């Protein structure tokens, strides 16, 4: 007898609640990636089509606003409840200067690129890398990087951290702490202008040095 399908969210494994299949990895690629990042765990090492076919998330992980009047899951639903918790790590490293053509995007890469903030003609010499790591489960995943021609300033670093946190929250990734070394730029970015807290999507983040 085949085993009953379970919820694939780490530490859940429910069999007794309604299960929802993952969005199609090609037809709904953005929403599929959002679900994948939100759930994390062993899914990160599996093939996308396998996940779509054989993995499900139970209804305990969806807000009530994501259900229609007929109790069906809305098309834009993403799991946000009772999910794994993560820390956000970031660090800056030096690069060997070179340019690279990306034929898929028809774009010359390795210039300074701060995402939504700016892209310039200066060749990148540093990469600011962000990674999430699980608190309750041993897992980690790089999520984005930014190229700079010089060390990031405290003001720009603060903007990029907030941008990454905002995208994490949009994707349902529950970040509960950030971790970095105690470089002066990092300290000033986290506590710029004497502020001890940030508010992002109605979440209050408190800044504290050891």
The band of 125, judged by pLDDT with boundaries at 50, 70 and 90, is confident
Per-residue tokens: 181: 């070394």
Q: Considering only CA atoms, which of 173, 161, 170, 171 is closest in space to residue 205?
A: 161
Kindly state whether residues 69 and 122 are assigned to the same domain.
Answer: no
Residues 64 and 90 occupy one common structural domain? no
CA 120, CA 186: separation in Å to the nearest integer? 23
Please, which pLDDT band fits residue 1 given cuts at 50, 70 and 90? very low
Domain end, chosen from 21, 49, 83, is at: 83
Pair (6, 24) in one structural domain = yes
71 and 132 inside one domain: no
Residues 54 and 150 grouped into a single domain: no
Domain stops at, among 52, 83, 114:
83
Boundaries of domain holding 123: 85-206
Whether 112 and 180 map to the same domain: the answer is: yes
| pTM value surpassing 0.85 | no
> d(Cα 41, Cα 24) in Å, to the nearest integer?
19
Helix H or strand E segment including 185: helix 184-190
Q: Do 43 and 129 belong to one domain? A: no
Q: Highest-confidence range of 107-111, 129-133, 168-172, by mean pLDDT? A: 129-133
Say whether pLDDT at 208 is over 70.
no
Final residue belonging to a domain, choices 32, 54, 83: 83
Domain count, the chain: 2
Average pLDDT value for residue range 128-133: 92
Q: Say yes or no: 90 and 77 in one domain.
A: no
Phi, psi of 64 (to 5 degrees): -60, -30
pLDDT at 10 over 50: yes
**pLDDT digits over 185-205, tens only?**
877 877 764 555 666 655 556
Condensed to tens digits (0 to 9), the pLDDT of residues 40-99 reads 767 877 899 999 999 999 989 998 889 888 888 988 898 888 877 888 999 998 888 888
Same domain, 46 and 105: no
- 11/150: higher pLDDT: 150
> What percentage of the chain exceeds 70 in pLDDT?
88
pLDDT at 2 over 50: no
């Amino acid at each position: 007898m085949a085993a009953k399908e379970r919820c694939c969210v780490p530490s859940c494994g429910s069999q007794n609640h309604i299960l929802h299949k993952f969005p199609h990895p090609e037809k709904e690629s953005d929403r599929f990636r959002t679900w994948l990042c939100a759930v994390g765990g062993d899914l990160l090492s599996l093939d996308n089509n396998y996940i779509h076919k054989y993995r499900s998330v139970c209804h305990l992980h969806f807000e009530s606003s994501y259900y229609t009047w007929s109790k069906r899951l809305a098309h834009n639903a993403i799991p946000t409840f009772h999910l794994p918790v993560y820390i956000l790590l970031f660090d800056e490293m030096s690069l060997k200067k070179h340019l690279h053509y990306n034929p898929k995007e028809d774009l010359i890469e390795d210039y300074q690129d701060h995402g939504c903030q700016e892209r310039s003609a200066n060749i990148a010499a540093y990469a600011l890398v962000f990674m999430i790591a699980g608190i309750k489960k041993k897992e980690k995943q790089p999520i984005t990087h930014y190229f700079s021609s010089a060390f990031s300033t405290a003001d720009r670093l603060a903007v990029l951290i907030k941008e990454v946190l905002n995208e994490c929250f949009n994707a349902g990734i529950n970040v509960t702490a950030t971790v970095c070394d105690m470089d002066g730029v990092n300290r000033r970015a986290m506590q710029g202008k004497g502020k001890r807290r940030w508010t992002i999507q109605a979440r209050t983040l408190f800044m504290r040095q050891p």
